[in-house]
Structure 1
Amino acid sequence: MTQNVDVLISAAYTPAYAHPGDAGADLRAAEAFVLAPGDRATVPTGVSIAMPDGYVGFVVPRSGLAARHGITIVNSPGTVDAGYRGEIRVTILNTDSREPFSIAVGDRIAQLILMPVSRARFIPVETLPGSHRGEGGFGSTGHN
């Protein structure tokens, strides 16, 4: 399913899918940065979008940057609400303890995934119905 999304570009690059069937469209840096080991920076993309109501954009890390350089997104996934019209900026973190990481203008720094959203109506209750898992939290399934 293809959804048209209005995109305002103040940089040289429009979000684009690298391959047919890709879920995430690449976001590129609109400014150059050097991240020292352990540093983070909020990188502008030069992209603002207008999604229809009922959609959300998730900004997620690029797996290649994470695997090869230890670059991730601090608040992953970053959430872009349908009503937001400002520039998409990506706060990235260099998790490598030894090597700085350079970002040039036009480098792919993250991916944007657009998805439909279901809205919930939250209803206060005295108790919740039971389930097989119950109140088990982190690690409660007993499997690695």
Structure 2
Amino acid sequence: MVGAAGEDVTDIASGPLPVPVQVQRLHPDAPLPSYAVDGDAGADLCTMVDVRLQPGERALLPTGLAIALPAGYAGFVQPRSGLAWRVGLGMVNAPGTIPSGYRGEIKVIVVNHDRENAVELRRGERIAQRVEQARFEVVDRLPESARGAAGYGSTGGAAALSTGDLLAADTVPAANNRGDDR
């Protein structure tokens, strides 16, 4: 197989897309995984509980969902970039791996990396993204999309993101600019 730039992409990965994924609601009010913008790779996962995380504190947040992936595939739970950038919320085990055989509730282990401020999350807020394996093709230029280059919380979804405007590129609030990732 030859990619748009003329290189051989045969061994990168192949298979039909999208991957069919069965979802079971373990709680009747659990929001289904959803894509903020058509064509996104990450489907948002929401918390089923309210939580306030003090600086350095961790929590295991239930999503109220279980999934069945096809054999040979895995799902990956990753932090949302806007929550990471704006309030310091991360995942302890990023990415979290969901093997094809796992049928239990998807839970997300979050941590407040901010050294001074608590992070509050409300039931139903988007806390992470679930990404499945995909087939990649190397190209010289990417096509236009509805999202474009917008990211780092541009689709909203958590009250913590409404605390201020996104700072200029390469700028980190002084309270968080410590030179390490603790």
Report the CA distance between 1:10 and its aligned residue: 2.3
CA distance in 1, matches of 2:68, 2:104: 9
Residues 1:92 and 2:116 are matched in the alignment: no
With structure 1 as the length reference, what TM-score do the two structures score?
0.78
CA distance in 1, matches of 2:42, 2:50: 22
Where does the alignment leave 5 or more consecutive residues of structure 2 unmatched? 1-16, 136-182
Pick aligned residue for 2:43 from 1, 17, 25? 25
Report the CA distance between 1:116 and its aligned residue: 5.7
Fraction of identical pairs, as percent? 47
Pick aligned residue for 2:25 from 1, 5, 9? 9
Report the CA distance between 1:115 and its aligned residue: 1.0
CA distance in 1, matches of 2:134, 2:73: 4
How big is the alpha-carbon RMSD for the aligned residues of Structure 1 and Structure 2? 1.3
Secondary structure, counterpart of 2:33 in structure 1: coil
CA distance in 2, matches of 1:95, 1:2: 34
With structure 2 as the length reference, what TM-score do the two structures score?
0.62
Report the CA distance between 1:65 and its aligned residue: 0.1
Report the CA distance between 1:4 and its aligned residue: 1.9
CA distance in 2, matches of 1:111, 1:99: 24
The residue that corresponds to 2:91 in the other structure is 73
The residue that corresponds to 2:66 in the other structure is 48
Where does the alignment leave 5 or more consecutive residues of structure 1 unmatched? 118-144
Render the CA deviation track for 1:32-53: whole Å, top value 9, x for unaligned.
1110011000000011000000
More strand by share: 1
Report the CA distance between 1:100 and its aligned residue: 0.5
Following superposition, which runs of at least 4 residues in structure 1 exceed 4 angstroms of deviation? Answer: none
Secondary structure, counterpart of 1:68 in structure 2: helix
CA distance in 2, matches of 1:26, 1:58: 12
